[in-house]
Amino acid sequence: MTHKTISILGGTGKEGSGLALRWAKAGYHIIIGSRSLERAQQAAAEINSQLDIDTARGMDNESAARAGDFAVLTVPAEAQMATLEGLKSALAGKILVDATARVDAKDPKPPTGKASARMAQDLLGPEVRIVAAFQNVPAHALKKLDHELASDVMVCGDDPEARAEVVKLAEAAGMQAYEAGGLDNGIVIEGLTALIIAMNKRYKSKTGGIRVSGIVK
């Protein structure tokens, strides 16, 4: 089986590096992208060391975007647009997974207006197939590789083939995933982050998540 290459833009943070670790373990080739080449290479080296492999690499975000079959954006919400600017040609023809959730952990409120992923689509144009996913996967749980994640992934995008590909990526990372309609639906998953934070606070939990029920795939 030839595995494809996944570039994680902003992949040095907890969520990006956690996803990268799980995908690397599943056999995908991983490129960690960062504004800082040095930090990207360091994060890749940690994955190689943890899994005893040598295929994970670190690059600046634009090189990572060019080199990957898929790109996954896991930067803080306030860095989303700045990170994507200038990546239009690097990402053309590819699937970009946008995990951005515009929810402030200290003052959690549902975002208003367009979905983050729709804003990315407006910026990057129709040549990039954008899918919203992984907005509220608990980052701390991703690195516990033997743990099943107690949180499902709803995958929103306008291109059915791209949605289906991202469902496969989520499954490869050990999550249950479901196609959940068009790109604009992504704002609901962003907003769920605010409710999960509120429930964690109310019930003194750190592991709140959402599961889909009643659907057989």
Question: What binding mask, one character per residue, do residues 42-81 give for a copy of itself by CB under 8 A, x or -?
Answer: ----------------------------------------
Residue 117 neighbours by CB under 8 Å, 6+ apart: 98, 100, 130, 131, 132, 156, 157, 183, 186
188 neighbors 210 (Cβ within 8 angstroms): no
Pick from 167, 9, 29: nearest CA to 96: 9
Distance CA 16, CA 10 (A): 7
Question: What binding mask, one character per residue, do residues 152-191 give for a copy of itself by CB under 8 A, x or -?
Answer: --x-x---------------------xxxxx-xx-xxx-x
User: Hey, which residues between 82 and 141 contact a copy of itself (CB under 8 A)?
Assistant: 108-110, 112-113, 138
Binding part of the chain for a copy of itself, among 7-15, 52-60, 65-73, 192-200 by CB under 8 A, reads 192-200
| Nearest to a copy of itself of 55, 200 (CB atom) | 200
- Across-strand partners of 155? 179
Q: Min. distance of Cβ 93 from a copy of itself in angstroms? A: 25
What are the distances in angstroms from CA 202 to CA 18, 45, 104, 105, 126? 26, 38, 17, 14, 42
Which chain residues interact with a copy of itself by CB under 8 A? 108-110, 112-113, 138, 150-151, 154, 156, 178-182, 184-185, 187-189, 191-192, 194-195, 197-200, 202-203, 205, 207-217
